[in-house]
Structure 1
Amino acid sequence: MKLNIHTLMHPSIQKLAYEIIYQKSHKQLQNTDNEKILGMLIFYETLRKWLKIDNIYIKKVDILKESYLLNHLDKYLIITNIIKCYNILADVHKILPQSYLQHIDFDSVNNIFDYNERLQEYKIIIFEKFLKNYTIIELINYLHKNNKINLNHVKIICITSNSNILKYIAQKYPQLNIYTIKII
């Protein structure tokens, strides 16, 4: 079985991502507005099939009020390097109000986090701007083996991803879903 790689092809996402990748490769100052907008668009595209919205109708004496609420039983854990990704994640709580952030440094090999709550209750999103090192494999191993996480409840989101890392993940965890804009 092959890895489920979803390339986000929306023109707005592609344009914003290109600007961010270009600025990063040329060591230019990042436009924080572009990163915030890109974050909202990426998370919307990635999670639109995962989110469940309930319609609620409130009947009053002379009017009917309609409201939309996210399923309050769904909880989301976003595992990311908050220091590097804070601009992209700045407005994600608008899409995922029941989300929690967990910091992890993907550059450090010995930095697997210890989360006290039961991880099986969460839908897990691993977000890395530029997926370029193999530490992600250690994190997936930790989640799958130590916490018995169902990998169907895990999504990996990144702007760019390294093809060698994707091949390695595909060999080990073909059931994972990875959302990326560009494969390098």
Structure 2
Amino acid sequence: MRLNIHTLIHPTIQKLAYEIIYQKSHKKLQNTDNEKTLGMLIFYEILRKWLKIDNIYIKKVDVLKERRLSNQLDKYLIITNIIECYNILADVQRILPEPYLKHIDFNNINNSFYCNEKLQEYRIIIFEKFLKNYGIIEIINYLQKNNQINLNHVKIICLTCNSNILKYLANKYPQLNIYTIKIN
């Protein structure tokens, strides 16, 4: 079975992501403006098919006003390590109408991921800067077994990802959609 891997090839996304990857690999200070901009661009690219904008027309006696509003019925859950990714996620609320953030340490899960929300109501985004350990699999197992989540409503986003993890996910969960910039 094949995994749905989408490589983000937009030149601006590529440029910003490689700067962040380079800074991380050389232990240099991160540029927070680059991370915020990259976050907005990545989330825009990935969510543009999920997001629905409603046009509302308000007619007054002599004026017609037009407004564009996000669909407030759609709910989004972002599972991420907030401590590591707060810069990238800083402006996501400008795109998503009230996203629910759930913190998880991908390096130290130990069956500690628990969410008391009704997850079937959410579109789920799992975001990790560098997908390099198998903690993601525990989260997906939890979502599917404990909450009976349709994995078509789950998107995994990362700047880089390990090819071994992708092979494992392809064998176990071929219906997942993974968005990345670089595969190691």
SS in 2 for 1:15: helix
Specify every segment of 5 or more residues in structure 1 that has no aligned partner in the other structure, as ranges: none
Compute the TM-score of the two structures, normalised by the length of structure 2: 0.98
Give the drift of 1:92.
Answer: 0.3
Establish whether residue 125 from structure 1 lines up as the match of residue 103 from structure 2. no
Q: What SS class does the counterpart of residue 86 from structure 1 fall into? A: helix
Per the alignment, residue 173 of structure 1 pairs with 173
Contact 1:104–1:111 (Cα < 8 Å) also in 2: no
User: How far apart are 1:62 and its partner, in Å?
Assistant: 1.1
Structure 2 distance, partners of 1:67, 1:109, is 43
Please give the alpha-carbon distance, in whole angstroms, between the structure 1 residues aligned to 2:11 and 2:109: 35
- The Cα shift of 1:109 comes to 3.4
**Structure 2 portions without partners, runs of 5+:** none
CA contact (8 A) 2:72 2:97 kept: no
- Cα-to-partner distance string for 1:52-93 (whole Å, 9 max, x where unaligned): 111111111111111111111100000000000000000000
Tell me the equivalent position of 1:53: 53
Distance 1:30 1:111, change over 3 A: farther
Amino acid at match of 2:179: Y
* Counterpart in the other structure of 2:9: 9
Aligned equivalents of 2:135, 2:86: Cα separation in 1: 20
Q: Which amino acid aligns with 1:141?
A: N
For 2:182 and 2:103, the matched residues in 1 are separated by 24
Distance 1:75 1:43 in 2: 15
Is 1:35 the counterpart of 2:35 in the alignment?
Answer: yes
CA contact (8 A) 1:5 1:177 kept: yes
- The 3 A distance-change label for structure 1 pair 179 and 67 is same
Describe the SS at the equivalent of 2:83.
helix
The offset of 1:111, in angstroms, is 4.5
Partner of 2:97: 97
What SS does the corresponding residue of 1:88 show, helix, strand or coil? helix
Identity of aligned residues (%): 82
Map 1:20-169 to 2 at 5 A: 20-169=20-169
Question: RMSD between aligned alpha carbons?
Answer: 0.8
Q: Which moved more, 1:58-67 or 1:108-117?
A: 108-117
Equivalenced residue count is 184
SS at match of 2:130: strand
State whether residues 112 and 142 of structure 1, in contact with CA within 8 Å, keep that contact through their aligned partners in structure 2. Answer: no
